[in-house]
Structure 1
Amino acid sequence: MSRFYEIEPIAENYWRAIILFGRNSASYKFALAKTLFDFHSLGKTLITLEELAVPYASHLCEHLKIHPKQGTSEQSTFLDKLRAFNSGEIEKNEMISHTLRYGFVDVLDAFHNVHGKEIGVRFFIKERNKKNAIQLTDDFMLLGERQQFANLAEETESRWRLVESAWENSLSRNLMLVEYEEKDNLLIGINTIQCSTVTSARPALNGYQKGRCFYCFREISIMLGSEEIAEVDHFFPHILKQCDSRKPIDSIANLVLACRECNRGVNGKFDRLPSIELLERLFNRNEYLITSHHPLRETLISQTGSTIEKRQTYLQKAYNCSTLHVGAGGRKWQPKQQGVATF
């Protein structure tokens, strides 16, 4: 089996490793990441923990208002204090004091740890000459000069929302499936009780494509108003339902982000069936989501199979069916590569 691999050891992919693969026992990592973005916009690199505490706690408080559960643990002294602030039981100064006491206990040391070891790039270091402060590194400041920087902020927020939905619905006990709502490009969580908006589809998928078009590897954006904004494409076209109405066309397993040229340009895909090479790429992308313990893994497994072999068979049958209804007698579609192959 081919594996999903990274051949671009660049700063934004190290950042994505933290956001996508770092441990998700609580949401502190996401709040810290968003706080670092705040200070980048200010151009400030030396930050005391007192300065860090205000936006850090604010990001957590805002998310607690919508999703009261912000971790896997049933109890958290720090989060309880933030909930007390939200309900008006304590004042802001007391909330910040508790943030300084409890909020940074583990997150600063654990932030750069992925799969039990430090990643190859650090985005901040603890300042040795000034107690209770961090220094943003050149790698983090240079990250802001990259085309993907705005995407990373959106991806961080989207990942946070996905993890919240998993915690809130206790996915290990109460499976929530996620479907695509095409009109507004949203992912909708569906469980036995209700349907709820989870997040926008673009940032949820973009990190796993490393900010590139699924088909041609051209750099894409997920920012509304951008000329390079990605379009959500169905790998297998809707006509597949003529073969098997049970195929989840709007499932995560069938959704990819594509540049406008690939999706509907002069030589675009439209309703054509992609090549077998691109089918393998889709399989690799889906396995990447599953093995990274993405919050959508349960949805993918439920819809495509509990083992690698079953998931391969699922895609092959869909491809065979699509060939009969879409690609019979014609060449499969594949665009010219426009960027570095990252998956």
Structure 2
Amino acid sequence: MTVEFFREEPTARSSWRLAVLMGANVRTYKFALGGALLGAAAEGRTDILLRDLAKPYAMSLVEHLAQAPQASPKVVASESDFLSVAREEAAESVRLGSPTEKLLAVAMKSMTDMVMQKFHNLRGGGSTEVPHHFYEVAGTSRERVVKLTDHLREVALSEQKPSLQAELAARWSIVETSFAAGVGRSLVEEGVAVDLEAMQITDKERRRSVAGVTEAVIGFQHGRCIICADPLIPDVDDVAVDHVFPYSFKRLLAGANIDLDAIWNLAPAHWPCNSQKSNQLPKPGQLTRLALRNEAIMQSPHPLKRTLQLTLKRHGFTGGRVGEWRDFIQGVRNHLG
């Protein structure tokens, strides 16, 4: 399915989204690296000293550590582990507004020994990588330089940059929530809910906001409107969250126990497109885009994946076979006549 996601839109942005949205996560280092890379490339830089890239990397992790765990409960950290040092050095780093020398040294080591080696890997590791690379590490062990590729600058300078930054932040928050709840417990068993008034994804057990619906799912539809398929630019366009199957049809589906307020049926759209569509049933192209979007989310780690699995399983599907979302969505459409 990751291949199909890229084939839909074979661009550097799709490679970026594969790396950020669909990779396995045992720590959140990838998100800190992604944010630092976007920041450097947005300045038009072609290279940056590892030391300079490590500063925003380390400080963003210090900031997030104050709010939630940054590693799976299954990860056993040693005293020399980056996160252990980050906890020890957090207060002084915040006071200085920059990582301490001790934290900076450990950050640089963790970047080159771990996250920078794995950032381009697709889920499952091995030799499979995203089609576009965003950096190379050069220089000697005394002075490493990170060379930023044209692909990274294309991503960081594109009109979708605000959306890409929001997607990264939302994915980071979702992973943190999984770590905080303990993967294998509530979020995996029950998935997440949606606060329809605020359009926020919420953790059912702790009843707290995890991420905005738009920010959490827009990347899986390539940053495009679910209705017209043109790009959504958050800083320019008014964005709505569309009920693909309108909420007004809920009463017609009561006997089938189909929840139209769930993630599977909510998708970002241009506000004018959403207003014009109103209470009309979705057209075939929109149904196809929704199925592909949901299939892409199924390639992401918990808890969004689990939330969609539960929807499918409640209606007799396995929740794991490619193509089930097309069948489910078409079944809903057929049910409405």
State TM-score, norm by structure 1: 0.82
Q: Deviations over 1:235-292 (max 9, x none)?
A: 121223313444322211111111223211xxx2111111345334323322221134
* Alpha-carbon distance in 2 for matches of 1:287, 1:202: 17
Residue in 2 that maps onto 1:187: 201
- Unpaired segments of 5 or more residues in structure 1? 324-343
The alpha-carbon distance between structure 1 residues 22 and 173, as it changes in their structure 2 partners (threshold 3 A), is same
Which AA in structure 2 matches 1:16? R
The alpha-carbon distance between structure 1 residues 277 and 39, as it changes in their structure 2 partners (threshold 3 A), is closer
The alpha-carbon distance between structure 1 residues 294 and 4, as it changes in their structure 2 partners (threshold 3 A), is farther
The alpha-carbon distance between structure 1 residues 131 and 23, as it changes in their structure 2 partners (threshold 3 A), is farther
C-alpha contact 2:225 2:231 (8 A) present in aligned 1: yes
Q: Deviations over 1:153-182 (max 9, x none)?
A: 111111111111122222323234322223
* 3-state secondary structure, aligned to 2:336: helix
* 3-state secondary structure, aligned to 1:71: coil
Residue in 2 that maps onto 1:18: 19
C-alpha contact 1:28 1:107 (8 A) present in aligned 2: yes
Map residues 227-306 of structure 1 onto 2, 5 A cutoff: 228-245=237-254, 246-264=257-275, 268-293=276-301, 295-305=303-313, 306=317
Map residues 110-125 of structure 1 onto 2, 5 A cutoff: 110-115=118-123, 116=126, 117-125=128-136
RMSD between aligned alpha carbons? 2.7
Between structures 1 and 2, the one with greater helix share: 2
| Deviation, structure 1 residue 195 | 0.7
| Deviation, structure 1 residue 88 | 5.7
The alpha-carbon distance between structure 1 residues 140 and 81, as it changes in their structure 2 partners (threshold 3 A), is same
| Deviation, structure 1 residue 58 | 0.6
Map residues 66-77 of structure 1 onto 2, 5 A cutoff: 66-71=67-72, 73-76=74-77, 77=81
* 3-state secondary structure, aligned to 2:146: strand
Identity percentage of aligned residues: 29
* 3-state secondary structure, aligned to 1:47: strand
Match of 1:149 among 154, 161, 168: 161
Residue in 1 that maps onto 2:116: 108
The alpha-carbon distance between structure 1 residues 4 and 32, as it changes in their structure 2 partners (threshold 3 A), is closer
State TM-score, norm by structure 2: 0.83
- Unpaired segments of 5 or more residues in structure 2? none
The alpha-carbon distance between structure 1 residues 252 and 33, as it changes in their structure 2 partners (threshold 3 A), is same
Which AA in structure 2 matches 1:180? V
| Deviation, structure 1 residue 24 | 1.5
The alignment covers a number of residue pairs equal to: 314
The alpha-carbon distance between structure 1 residues 186 and 83, as it changes in their structure 2 partners (threshold 3 A), is same
* Alpha-carbon distance in 1 for matches of 2:312, 2:8: 28
